[in-house]
Amino acid sequence: MQPPQLVFDASVIQQETTIPHQFVWPEGEKPGPDPAPELQVPVIDIGGFLSGEPFQVSKATQLVDEACKKHGFFLVVNHGVDPRLLAKAHELMDFFFGMTLSEKQRAQRKLGETCGYASSFVGRFTSKLPWKETLTLPYFAAAAADDDDEKPSNSAEKYILSLMGDDFKEFGRFYQEYCEAMNNLCVGILELLGTSIGVGSHFRRFYERHESVLRLNYYPPCQKPDLTLGTGPHCDPTSITILHEDQVGGLQVFVDGKWHSITPHTQAFVVNVGDTFMALTNGIYKSCVHRAVVNKKISRKSIAFFLCPKMDKVVYPPQQLLASTNTPRLYPDFTWQTLLDFTQKHYRADINTLAAFTNWLHNQDIQIQISSMSTT
C-alpha cells in the first residue's frame, strides 16, 4: 500500500507540533537558534537619482556600485509607488491565501510551468520542501506584447481570469496594476545600475521587451521553525528582484560567511541582483545567496517582482563593459528561455545555479560537437 500523498494545507499544518519529514532541512542548512545580525544595506533615493541632481546621482551610483559588487542587495525609497497600492496588495494576499485549499487549487501550477498556485513544492520535490504557499502571475511589457499576440499586455489580469473566473476579475486587474507600477520602477532601477557600472542606458534598453513574473509569497506559522525554512538558500536565477514585505521579517542574506537579516521597511523595496544580471555584468555585480526563515506565532507575506529578459533575448555583457574592465568572459551566451528550462526541468535552483548551468551548457556543446563528428 502506498503512503498517503503529502498535502500542504496551511490552515491545518501550521497547528501541528510535528512537521512532516519532507519539510525538515539538513543540519547544516537549518536556521540557527540565535537571531541573525542585521545586514547594513544602503538606502537609495531613486527619485533623487532620477532628478538628475549631480550630488544625488553621484551618491546613489556610488552606494549601489559598492553594494552590488559585495552582495547585490539594496533598498529603494522615494520610488513613487502609491502606499495605498502596497497596502491593498497585502490585503488581497490575505484574501487569496485565506481561502480553502480546494479554492486556491483552481489556480494550481502545472508541472514544468512557472505560473500558478503552489502549496509548497509538493509534487515537484520530495525533500527540503519550503514552508510556504505562492501564487505566480505572468507579466509582459507592452513592447513584448506588441511582438506576440499570445503575450497580451494585460497578461496578469487575463491569467487570473482564465483560472479563477469572473469573480476574480478585480483581483486580476489589481495585480496587473501592481505589475505596471513595478515595470515603471524597473526603468529607473536599470538606469541606476547602468550608470553605476558605466554603461549608461544599456540595461534599460536591453529589458524593454521583458517577460517577467510577479510572485505572492505566504509563509504560515510553523510550530517547529528551527527545523525548516520558508525558502531554502538560493540565488535568484532571474535578473532583478523587487521585493515588498510586511513587518514580520524573515529575509536573510549570506554575507562574509554568515547569515544576516534585512529589517523590513514598509515604505521601501528590497532590490537584489539575480544570476542572469550577474552574467550580464560578467560577474561584476553579484547574485547573493539568500533564504527566508519562518516563526511559530505569525504569518509573513511578501510580494516579489522578478524582472526577466524576453525569452529569446541572448544574454551577454556589453562590449563597453568588457573593454573597460579588460577581463575575459566568465559565462557563455545564453537565452533566458534556456536558463528557465534548466531550472524547471534539470536543476533545482540553489546557491550554485549559474555555475551548474554554465557547466551544463558546456556539456551540451560537447555533445553537439561529438554528434556532429559522428555524422560526418
Positions marked catalytic: 300
Give the residues across from 307 on adjacent strands: 240
Asked if 41 contacts 64 with a C-beta cutoff of 8 angstroms, the reply is no
- Quick one: which of 218, 238, 234, 221 has its CA closest to 135? 218
φ, ψ of residue 313 to 5 degrees: the values are -70, 130
* Cα-based distances in Å from 4 to 7, 9, 21: 9, 14, 14
* H or E stretch covering 102: helix 101-104
Reduce the DSSP state of residue 244 to 3 states and report it.
strand
Give the C-alpha separation, 342 to 359, whole Å: 12
Reduce the DSSP state of residue 324 to 3 states and report it.
helix
Asked if 356 contacts 347 with a C-beta cutoff of 8 angstroms, the reply is yes
Give the C-alpha separation, 187 to 353, whole Å: 26
Give the C-alpha separation, 330 to 282, whole Å: 6
